[in-house]
Structure 1
Amino acid sequence: MAGQFGGTPIYILREGSQRTAGRDAQRSNIMAAKAVAGAVRTTLGPKGMDKMLVDTLGDVVITNDGVTILKEMDIEHPAAKMMVEIAKTQDQEVGDGTTTAVVLAGELLKQAEGLLEQEIHPTVIAAGYRAAAERSMEILQGLAVTVSEDDEDLMRKIAITAMTGKGSQSARHELAVMAVEAVRSVVDEDGTVDIDNITVEKKVGGSITDSLLVRGVVIDKERLHPSMPKSVTDARVALLNAAVEIEKTEVDAKIQITSPNQLQAFLDQEETALRGMVDKIVASGANVLFVQKGIDDLAQHFLAKAGIYTVRRVKKSDMDKLARATGGRVITSIHDIDKADLGRAGLVEERKVSDEKMTFVEDCENPKSVSIILRGGTEHVVDELRRAMEDGLRVVGVVLEDKLLVPGGGSPEVDLAIRLRAFASTVGGREQLAIESFADAMEIIPKTLAENAGLDQIDSLMALRSAHETGMENAGLKMETGEAVDMLKEGVVEPIRVKTQAINSATEAAVMILRIDDVIASRSGPGGMGEMPGGMGGMGGMGAEDFE
Structure 2
Amino acid sequence: MSVKQVSNNAEVDERLTALITNANAIRAIASAVEGTLGPKGLDTMLVDKFGDVVITNDGVTILQLMEVNHPAARMLIKTAKAQQAEIGDGTTTATVLAGSLVSEGVEQAHKGVPVSRVIEGLKSGVKSAVDILARHARPVESIDDPYLNNVALVAGREHTDIADLVVSAARLVGLEKLKENGFKLSDSVFAQEGAENLVFSGVIINKRPLSEDMPKALTDAPVLIIDDALEPEELSSEALSTEAGFAWYREKQQEFLANIRKIIDMGVRVVLVDRGVEDIAQEMLTDAGILVVQRVSSRELKKAAEHTGARAVKRTGLLREPADLNRYLGRAGQVLVDDKLEHVRIMAGQGKPVATVLVGAATEEVVGERERIAKDAASAVQAAVKGGLIPGGGAIELAVARQVEEVRRDMRGMSAYGLDCVVTALKRPFAQIVANAGFNPLEKLGDVIAAQMEQGKDTLSINCDNGEVADMWEMGVIDPALVKIHALRAAGEIAEAILRINTIIKKREQRPEHMQNESGEGSW
**TM class, shorter-chain normalised?**
0.7 to 0.9
Give the number of equivalent residue pairs. 493
After TM superposition, give the deviation of residue 182 of structure 1 in Å.
5.3
After TM superposition, give the deviation of residue 126 of structure 1 in Å.
0.5
**Aligned residue number for residue 442 of structure 1:** 426
Is residue 2:195 matched to residue 1:163? no
- Percent identity among equivalent residues? 31
Structure 1 156/118 Cα, relative in aligned 2: closer, same or farther at 3 Å? same
Aligned equivalents of 1:284, 1:231: Cα separation in 2: 19
**Aligned residue number for residue 181 of structure 1:** 171
Query: Is the Cα contact below 8 Å between 1:193 and 1:401 reproduced in 2?
Result: no
**Aligned residue number for residue 338 of structure 1:** 325
**Aligned residue number for residue 205 of structure 1:** 194
**Aligned residue number for residue 33 of structure 2:** 40
After TM superposition, give the deviation of residue 420 of structure 1 in Å.
1.4
Q: Summarize deviations over 1:283-315 as a string: whole Å, max 9, x none.
A: 322111111122111111111121111111211
Query: Is the Cα contact below 8 Å between 1:183 and 1:195 reproduced in 2?
Result: no
Structure 1 242/431 Cα, relative in aligned 2: closer, same or farther at 3 Å? closer
**Aligned residue number for residue 400 of structure 1:** 385
Aligned equivalents of 2:216, 2:442: Cα separation in 1: 63
Structure 1 409/59 Cα, relative in aligned 2: closer, same or farther at 3 Å? same
Q: 1:51 aligns with which of 44, 47, 51?
A: 44
**Aligned residue number for residue 460 of structure 2:** 475
Query: Any gaps of 5 or more consecutive residues in structure 2?
Result: 1-12, 512-524
After TM superposition, give the deviation of residue 250 of structure 1 in Å.
6.2
Structure 1 433/272 Cα, relative in aligned 2: closer, same or farther at 3 Å? closer
Structure 1 328/185 Cα, relative in aligned 2: closer, same or farther at 3 Å? farther
Q: Summarize deviations over 1:17-58 as a string: whole Å, max 9, x none.
A: xxx962111111111111111111101112111111112343
Structure 1 424/512 Cα, relative in aligned 2: closer, same or farther at 3 Å? same
Aligned equivalents of 1:256, 1:133: Cα separation in 2: 74
Structure 1 341/461 Cα, relative in aligned 2: closer, same or farther at 3 Å? same
Query: Is the Cα contact below 8 Å between 1:156 and 1:180 reproduced in 2?
Result: no
Secondary structure, aligned partner of 2:505: strand
Report the residue type matching 1:370 in the other structure. Answer: A
RMSD across aligned positions (CA): 2.7
Q: Summarize deviations over 1:298-345 as a string: whole Å, max 9, x none.
A: 111111121111111211111111111111111122123622221111
After TM superposition, give the deviation of residue 254 of structure 1 in Å.
3.1
Structure 1 85/21 Cα, relative in aligned 2: closer, same or farther at 3 Å? farther
Q: 1:433 aligns with which of 410, 414, 417?
A: 417
Q: Summarize deviations over 1:221-275 as a string: whole Å, max 9, x none.
A: 1111222222111111111123222211369413458xxxxxx999986764443
**Aligned residue number for residue 504 of structure 2:** 519
Aligned counterparts, 1:124-523, within 5 A: 124-164=117-157, 169=159, 171-181=161-171, 184=174, 187=177, 191-192=180-181, 194-195=183-184, 198-205=187-194, 210-249=196-235, 252-255=238-241, 272-332=254-314, 333-336=317-320, 338-353=325-340, 356-365=341-350, 367-402=352-387, 404-470=388-454, 471-522=456-507
Report the residue type matching 1:180 in the other structure. Answer: A
**Aligned residue number for residue 4 of structure 2:** none
Query: Is the Cα contact below 8 Å between 1:186 and 1:198 reproduced in 2?
Result: no
Query: Is the Cα contact below 8 Å between 2:452 and 2:458 reproduced in 1?
Result: yes
**Aligned residue number for residue 6 of structure 1:** none
Indicate the larger mover: 197-206 or 28-37. 197-206
Aligned counterparts, 1:18-37, within 5 A: 22-37=15-30
TM-score using structure 2 length: 0.87
Structure 1 269/132 Cα, relative in aligned 2: closer, same or farther at 3 Å? closer
Report the residue type matching 2:139 in the other structure. Answer: T
Structure 1 186/54 Cα, relative in aligned 2: closer, same or farther at 3 Å? farther
Q: Summarize deviations over 1:38-81 as a string: whole Å, max 9, x none.
A: 11110111211111111234332111111111111111111111
Query: Is the Cα contact below 8 Å between 1:129 and 1:438 reproduced in 2?
Result: yes
Structure 1 185/112 Cα, relative in aligned 2: closer, same or farther at 3 Å? closer
Query: Is the Cα contact below 8 Å between 2:26 and 2:99 reproduced in 1?
Result: yes
After TM superposition, give the deviation of residue 479 of structure 1 in Å.
1.6
Structure 1 23/137 Cα, relative in aligned 2: closer, same or farther at 3 Å? same
Indicate the larger mover: 197-206 or 371-380. 197-206
Compare the two structures and name the one with the higher helix fraction: 2
Query: Is the Cα contact below 8 Å between 1:285 and 1:339 reproduced in 2?
Result: no
**Aligned residue number for residue 55 of structure 2:** 62
Report the residue type matching 1:77 in the other structure. Answer: H
Structure 1 43/432 Cα, relative in aligned 2: closer, same or farther at 3 Å? same
Aligned equivalents of 1:467, 1:352: Cα separation in 2: 58
Aligned equivalents of 2:349, 2:149: Cα separation in 1: 24
After TM superposition, give the deviation of residue 153 of structure 1 in Å.
1.6
Q: Summarize deviations over 1:157-203 as a string: whole Å, max 9, x none.
A: 222221116xxx35344334344235538817x74451178433321
Aligned equivalents of 1:247, 1:172: Cα separation in 2: 47
Structure 1 301/444 Cα, relative in aligned 2: closer, same or farther at 3 Å? same
Query: Is the Cα contact below 8 Å between 1:160 and 1:176 reproduced in 2?
Result: no
Indicate the larger mover: 106-115 or 41-50. 106-115
Secondary structure, aligned partner of 1:434: helix
Query: Any gaps of 5 or more consecutive residues in structure 1?
Result: 1-19, 258-263, 527-548
Aligned equivalents of 1:251, 1:265: Cα separation in 2: 13
Aligned equivalents of 2:172, 2:209: Cα separation in 1: 26
